[in-house]
Structure 1
């Protein structure tokens, strides 16, 4: 488990260009710092580039420019600058970092339909070479009211249940950072609130860092999440800055 209040990710001068139906749109991120146990929200109006930015931060989409992308890969307080590897698209290294250090939650959950709940959750652990049993995961399954559904298939679950399973799966292989793209978008207000509370509790307990894309300003403000918001939004550009 990562130490308390440890710097996990530091980014400077990132920009990426997105093309939508012949329209060129530039997304800029001047700076970002993410600490262990912190939930950092990326917010902004629809079409401002939140999901695009999350894809870059998740080492999926290559940026156009990047001065610094420092990531703590478990060497104490030392951060490795991956900016050259990212700009050169060193896919072998980036794929290894994605599988070992990052967890992902999609809007739709993204569960594999041919695996049951237990198999979906422990898949990432087996891919990382970790044991297929862990008491802390069982405890979280109980707290999220998922343990009783362990043998169910994804199509047998409600939307809220699928999102809770997706959250557990994203943290099961003990990543440094979880990237969540609108995880509450398809949920009713009560279920969204419940998931936010549990994410906050588990982030603190496990010293897990979470980058959260969300349009739900009320929930962000209610829980006091630090946020980076798309500002200076125009028809061709948005700049993400700390609020």
Structure 2
């Protein structure tokens, strides 16, 4: 049986930043992410993990790409580089909103909405009925009692669990997470990580997770991308591939 086409295929993907007399370049020589696969980006702070996630989230324009394609579940591949070249922000936004869930490092919850309303937001924007999924996610993440509270009334760990539920509520084919347990104490971080990976695998989504301190041996069945830092004068180049 032939393998399924990749969800993401990146070749020669590059993003550059400059300022203060220094320059940084993120380069992805080649990256393939399969449906249902869980991939971890590991590297020190400033190594470009968040930049790569933002590129995969279609939230950041690349400077260059040989191939940059996205194939949501059971759909034709979208040429993301072509969409960026045409400044087709509506097309990119539709792909992002429909097929991608993103867990930000700080949660990114809206302070004026309750936890329930934050979780339901992606479904509401897509015109979908979440049914009982919000309650099921809340029960699994142990935040059922917090659903009618606003983010300011929640602990850091509770806010992060709400953010995870929000990223999964519209049943995306891709879940991205940027240091999702960085602001949580180690015991809660381990519990949240286990729950997060369990929920992602149950959903059948593929996931890309950035972390600088997760131990690969704690993550069976997870692929850690190859990574290298190169320095050339004032240029720091970070490479991820796999």
Normalising by structure 2, we get a TM-score of 0.90
SS at match of 1:75: coil
Gaps of 5+ in 1: none
SS at match of 1:29: strand
Matched, 1:73 2:72: yes
SS at match of 1:145: coil
Matched, 1:171 2:168: yes
Matching residue of 1:201: 198
> What count of residue pairs does the alignment treat as equivalent?
236
Gaps of 5+ in 2: none
Shift of 1:236: 1.8
> Residue by residue, what CA displacement relative to the aligned partner does 1:148-191 show, whole Å, maximum 9, x if unpaired?
11111101111010000000001111112121111111111111
C-alpha contact (below 8 Å) 2:120/2:134 kept by paired residues:
no
Matching residue of 1:222: 218
The within-5 A match list for 1:64-103 is 64-75=63-74, 78-103=76-101
Matching residue of 1:37: 36
Separation in 2 of the partners of 1:228 and 1:88? 30
C-alpha contact (below 8 Å) 2:133/2:169 kept by paired residues:
no
| Segments ≥4 residues shifted beyond 4 Å | none
C-alpha contact (below 8 Å) 1:45/1:230 kept by paired residues:
no
**172, 180, 185: which one aligns with 2:182:** 185
Shift of 1:14: 0.5
Structural RMSD (CA): 1.9
